[in-house]
């Protein structure tokens, strides 16, 4: 019975809550209440993603991560996103956060795949 626990301990399963907090903190930190600016978008997406990846690494879990970030100006236009994954549903997971402020939408998704 002791050996069975090795495969599915808390340390090696994807924790949606922890990751969701990491994402929200990163976006608030980098973008916050800023107004959409074409010149700065590249910088924002890079910073959000970098911060997320750094925090995820600090969790120290045996996972490979894929982080994507989409920033869109608020214009009245519609946007749909979807994702489909072929993985091991017991160990892998994803967390997708939609965030907005007055001038833009930000969608960050983190996929964690167990090693």
Partner 1 sequence: MQDEPVATEQPQQQQQQQQQKEGEEVANTYVIRPNFESKFRPLLAKPVIHEVLVERLTDKAYDKEATSGLCKELTDEIKARLRANGFERYKFVVQVAIGEQRGQGVKMACRCLWDSDSDNYVQDIFMNDSLFCVAVAFGVFHY
Question: Which residues of the chain form contacts with partner 1 (CB under 8 A)?
Answer: 36, 38, 41-42, 44-46, 49-50, 53, 56-57, 64-88, 92, 94, 109, 111, 113, 115
Nearer to partner 1, 27 or 67 (CB): 67
Q: What is the DSSP string of 14-36?
A: --HHHHHHHHHHHHHHHTTTPPP
Distance in Å, CB of 64 to partner 1, minimum: 4
Which residue's entry shows tokens 């107004």?
Answer: 35
Nearer to partner 1, 28 or 50 (CB): 50
Q: What is the DSSP letter of 42?
A: H
Alpha-carbon distance of 43 to 39, in angstroms, equals 8
Distance in Å, CB of 31 to partner 1, minimum: 12
Distance in Å, CB of 71 to partner 1, minimum: 5
Strand, helix or coil for residue 22: helix
Distance in Å, CB of 94 to partner 1, minimum: 8
Alpha-carbon distance of 78 to 101, in angstroms, equals 16
Nearer to partner 1, 11 or 57 (CB): 57
């Amino acid at each position: 019975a002791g050996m069975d626990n090795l495969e599915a301990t808390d340390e090696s399963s994807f924790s949606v809550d922890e990751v969701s907090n990491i994402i929200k903190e990163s976006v608030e930190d980098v973008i916050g209440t800023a107004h959409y600016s074409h010149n700065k978008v590249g910088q924002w997406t890079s910073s959000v993603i970098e911060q997320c990846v750094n925090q995820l690494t600090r969790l120290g879990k045996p996972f490979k991560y894929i982080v994507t970030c989409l920033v869109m100006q608020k214009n009245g236009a519609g946007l749909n996103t979807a994702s489909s994954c072929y993985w091991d549903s017991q160990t892998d997971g994803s967390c997708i956060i939609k965030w907005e402020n007055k001038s833009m939408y930000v969608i960050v998704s983190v996929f964690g795949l167990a090693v």
